[in-house]
Chain A
Amino acid sequence: MVAILLACCGGGVACATPSPEPSIAIARQAIERAEDLDARRYAAQDLARANDALRKAERARSNRADWIEARRLAEKAAVDAEVAAARAGANRLHIAIEEIRKAADAVGPQ
């Protein structure tokens, strides 16, 4: 399998692996942003998925042979964090609207 993968890489040109560091930095920012948007409370699963991928990326970065994997994991973490932020926004609104409806019901028809 390894041999096949190497063969697919074609002469090694495509194998000049770029550093995963920029992707890891972007992923960290995206996670911070999701946390600022209360994702911990409103989109916990998505945020956990992002953090998990980031941790794996940070483990993989130390070994040059794993740089491709580290970069992919960081990119996953970043997009998962974006999803966490977006879902937190939607869930927060759902909850606010529900609260408003309840409050309106309590007041009764006007």
Chain B
Amino acid sequence: MNGRLHRFPLAWAAVAALTVACATEPGELSQVRTAYEQMAANGRVQEHAGVEIHDAELAVKEAERVWHDNGNYDEAVHLAYLATRRVELAWLAAERRELSDEMTEFPQQIVNRALGVREQTAASQQTARRLAMHLSSVEDLSALLEQLDATPEERGVLTLGDVLFGFDSAVLRPGADEAIALLAEFLLTHPARSLLVEGHTDDSGVLEYNFDLSRRRAEAVKAELVEAGVPPERVTTVGYGPVYPVATNAVATGRAQNRRVEVVVLGHGEQLEAR
């Protein structure tokens, strides 16, 4: 056998190549590491996409772990691909949030004209299959939380209308205590879940003011949850002002529906998705 291989240097080279293939790190791994480092060093991404940077970091580490612990070449290459896409997701998230900020700088009248596209989008989002309900009582909330308890991957969206805030106010109503307590308890007993609290307004008044009001409303909900013992890093807030209406702003009943806080209970391990 050895004698034969001696006479066929190419055969030896093939054996050597195969042995090396099992020991040398996949090129994809070092490529994704470089891509990750470049992304994570970018100030704009750091500012806007902290969660996504973290997700990408975990994905890179997982690929490295599988390679170093198991030496599973194909799986490491696969995981490196997933990590590459996570790096891309962080860039995209930063871009989206920067653009959202840019939107807030335009005068309201002009933003509204461009919203034809976005109103449609909000409507199609509503048809999305997800656990969603309009919260009119604390019983509704506990029913939804029970459903979420049974389906850890599912995300839930609670629409809190006039339950929590008075007109033009960012101060929580006393009646909100029970709803907040239920949410807090749910978060504390489901450590893999986190919340995205979105504030929305109707389109009356000054745009900048509405963005600010919606942000303050979302932050008021977060402050109460933190007070109740929820770690602040598990609640993200965002104020969308009037840009995601769920009903027409032309009539009063529609405007009342648009003034709302949406609490998105994210699925297990689900990452934040700013829309």
| Residues in A lying within 8 Å of B, measured CB to CB | 1, 4-5, 8, 14, 26, 29, 32-33, 36-38, 68, 72, 75-76, 79-80, 82-83, 85-87, 89-90, 92-97, 99-100, 103-104, 107
- Summarize A's interface: helix, strand, loop or mixed: helix
CB of B114 within 8 A of CB of A96, answer: yes
- Summarize B's interface: helix, strand, loop or mixed: helix
Chain A residues near B100: list those with CB within 8 A: 93
B226 to chain A, nearest CB (A): 28
The complex places the Cα of A85 from the Cα of B52 at a distance, in Å, of 14
B54 within 8 A of partner (CB): no
The complex places the Cα of A99 from the Cα of B114 at a distance, in Å, of 6
- Sorting the interface of chain B by its residue count into under 10, 10 to 19, 20 to 34 or 35 or more gives 35 or more
CB of B121 within 8 A of CB of A100, answer: no
B70 within 8 A of partner (CB): yes
Taking a contact as CB atoms closer than 8 A, the residue among A76, A87, A100 that contacts B81 in the complex is: A76
CB of B92 within 8 A of CB of A86, answer: yes
Taking a contact as CB atoms closer than 8 A, the residue among B71, B78, B110 that contacts A104 in the complex is: B110
CB of B106 within 8 A of CB of A37, answer: no
CB of A85 within 8 A of CB of B88, answer: no
The complex places the Cα of A84 from the Cα of B249 at a distance, in Å, of 30
Report the 5 A-B pairs with minimum CB-CB distance, sorted nearest first. Answer: A93-B99, A86-B92, A36-B128, A79-B85, A99-B114
* A8-B71, A95-B117 as given contacts; A75 in contact with B78, CB under 8 Å: yes
CB of A93 within 8 A of CB of B96, answer: yes
